Amino acid sequence: MTESPRKPSILIVDDESGILQTLDILLRAEGFEVHTAQGGKLALERIPQLTPDIILSDVRMPQVTGVEVLAAARAHDPEVPVILMTAQATLQTAMQAVNAGAFYYIQKPFRNDELLAILRRAAEHRQLRLENRSLKKEIRRRDRRTAGAPIGSHPLWLAALSLAEAVAHTESTVLLTGESGTGKEVVARYIHDLSLRADHTFQSINCGALPEGLLESELFGHVKGSFTGAVRDKDGLFTAAAGGTFFLDEIGETTPATQVKLLRVLQHREVIPVGATESQSIDTRIIAATNRDLEEEIKRGTFRRDLFYRLNVIALHLPPLRDRREDIPLLAESFLERSGQQRGEPAKRLSDETASALLNYSWPGNVRELENALERAVILTNGPTVNVSALPERVTERRTESLVADRTAPNPTLEVIEKAYIMWVLQSEAGNKTRAAEALGIDPSTLHRKLARYGVET
């Protein structure tokens, strides 16, 4: 039995109920799924609820105009065709509508066949866009092993990727959680590549790698003379990411002052550059990530509850590598293939003993630690096979000592466990903070801050 084609959905917006009723009857008879909104204000509420295929809106309406409906529709879905209609058409208003992104501009009164022809073209345009998006998504699904794409077949990992794919085409803010090195930036880029913003830039920043003043300048920009060294105006990364995606990594490391400014960005979609008095509108999708438990940070008073709720629209947790050990061979093979391509030589392979060592290690630094260990091994390997002797000692040795002291409280806090583990890694790396940060999968500046918080001399 052949599946019947899906009816294109249309939202009709007009402040006159008679016009809404007339168009409703006409378009239902022509096979459209019809929704109506009497006035632009109601349309702004219905657009995100319905996500219609087409919007047909009057221009001159009280409170919210058709041009404002157009802007809101394109902000929600940049590819939705919006047709504007008015009884007061001028060349200037027609040009303004087209420049604002209208699919078509039609003057009242219009003939029914004229309107239906425009709507059918809009429906075809929408269908082609949806098919293109679906094809692009399917290609990504089939080719996850390309450079930079998320790799893995464990059910936990596939569940995370399925959620990423489901939310990619929306404009919702995403909060990625998981231990350091689990691939949060890789998944953020994956979401961007599958989104309607894929043709625009992907910007990222590690919020834990910069001091507060420099971080705010990088995020929001600054004006000339706002501080020593500000010799010219500079756009921030929110502005640089216009039309694209901005990835805020380690957002849990931000200070309360920076969190207030980030909250304003999420609430009003605008930034105020350092030293400026006027705000600037931004058009960027925000994806944030943290290895902290932000709800615990809220209890401690180090993270704002209102900012958490703004960020946590779509929560996506990435499992640690120790919980998906079956993916270690896939990841290792991918890293070796990429290394071979970069060096212009055949990819090296793992000996059985090396592969076994990789599977038996707990990988506290997760995928990032695995990649670093294999990069080191490739450099130290002259032949085609990576032997176990080329792996870091911490990967090959069997540890029997406890990670926490015998006298630790029966129910230690996460902070106590974190401190104990960091100190253990630091000791195993002979006090070398750079190597310890690499093993932990965190930025060296983050390690320094944590040690300072623990009262350890840095």
The string of pLDDT tens digits covering residues 33-49 is 999 999 999 999 999 88
Residue 43: the pLDDT is: 94
Q: Is the pLDDT of residue 6 over 50?
A: yes
Residue 119: the pLDDT is: 94
Q: Is the pLDDT of residue 92 over 80?
A: no
Confidence category of residue 403, pLDDT binned at 50, 70, 90: very low
Q: Is the pLDDT of residue 24 over 60?
A: yes
Looking at residue 23, its amino acid is L
Tell me the backbone φ, ψ of residue 380, rounded to 5 degrees: -85, 0
User: From CA 226, how far away is CA 286, in angstroms rounded?
Assistant: 26
Q: Is the pLDDT of residue 1 over 60?
A: no
Put residue 243 in one of left, alpha, beta given phi > 0 → left and psi -120 to 50 → alpha: left
Residue 89: the pLDDT is: 57
Which has the closest alpha carbon to 446: 182, 169, 252, 175?
252
Residue 311: the pLDDT is: 95
User: From CA 165, how far away is CA 137, in angstroms rounded?
Assistant: 8
Residue 430 or 236, more confident: 236
Local structure of 105: helix, strand or coil: strand
Residue 149: the pLDDT is: 65
Average pLDDT over residues 414-434: 77
pTM: 0.60
Q: What is the helix (H) or strand (E) element at residue 22, kind and residue range?
A: helix 17-29
User: From CA 179, how far away is CA 288, in angstroms rounded?
Assistant: 14
Average pLDDT over residues 236-247: 92
- The CA-based diameter of the chain, rounded to the nearest angstrom, is 85
Which has the closest alpha carbon to 188: 209, 161, 207?
161
Average pLDDT over residues 103-130: 88
Put residue 367 in one of left, alpha, beta given phi > 0 → left and psi -120 to 50 → alpha: alpha
Put residue 101 in one of left, alpha, beta given phi > 0 → left and psi -120 to 50 → alpha: left
User: From CA 303, how far away is CA 306, in angstroms rounded?
Assistant: 9
Residue 295: the pLDDT is: 93
Q: Which residue has the tokens 């080719």?
A: 143
Report pLDDT digits (tens) over 273-289. Answer: 888 888 888 899 999 99
- The two three-digit tokens of residue 140, written as one number: 């990504």
Residue 147: the pLDDT is: 44
Q: How far is CA 238 from the centre of its chain?
A: 13
**Domains in the chain, CATH or no CATH each:** 9-134 (3.40.50.2300), 148-319 (3.40.50.300), 322-453 (1.10.8.60)
User: From CA 77, how far away is CA 81, in angstroms rounded?
Assistant: 9
Q: How far is CA 211 from the centre of its chain?
A: 23
- The two three-digit tokens of residue 440, written as one number: 């932990």
Q: Is the pLDDT of residue 124 over 60?
A: yes
Local structure of 235: helix, strand or coil: strand
Which has the closest alpha carbon to 429: 420, 421, 439, 419?
439
Cβ(174)–Cβ(287) below 8 Å: yes
Q: b/e per residue, 178-191, with b = 16+ CB within 10 A?
A: bbbbbbbbbbbbbb
Residue 60: the pLDDT is: 87
Average pLDDT over residues 214-239: 82
Length of the chain: 458
Sign of CA dihedral 203, 209, 213, 214: negative
Tell me the backbone φ, ψ of residue 257, rounded to 5 degrees: -65, -45
User: From CA 168, how far away is CA 192, in angstroms rounded?
Assistant: 7
Looking at residue 236, its amino acid is G
User: From CA 26, how far away is CA 20, in angstroms rounded?
Assistant: 10
Q: What is the helix (H) or strand (E) element at residue 286, kind and residue range?
A: strand 285-290
Torsion, CA 199, CA 283, CA 214, CA 181, rounded to 10: -50
Average pLDDT over residues 3-18: 85
Residue 202 or 137, more confident: 202
Residue 289: the pLDDT is: 97
Q: Which residues pair with 12 in a beta bridge?
A: 36, 56
Local structure of 274: helix, strand or coil: strand
User: From CA 240, how far away is CA 60, in angstroms rounded?
Assistant: 34
Report pLDDT digits (tens) over 137-194. Answer: 566 555 544 445 689 989 999 999 999 988 998 999 999 999 999 999 999 999 998 8
Which has the closest alpha carbon to 441: 183, 251, 253, 151?
183
Q: How far is CA 17 from CA 20, 29, 83, 84, 338, in A?
A: 5, 19, 18, 17, 62
Q: Is the pLDDT of residue 404 over 50?
A: no
Residue 311 burial by Cβ neighbours in a 10 Å radius (0-12, 13-18, 19+):
buried
Residue 144: the pLDDT is: 44
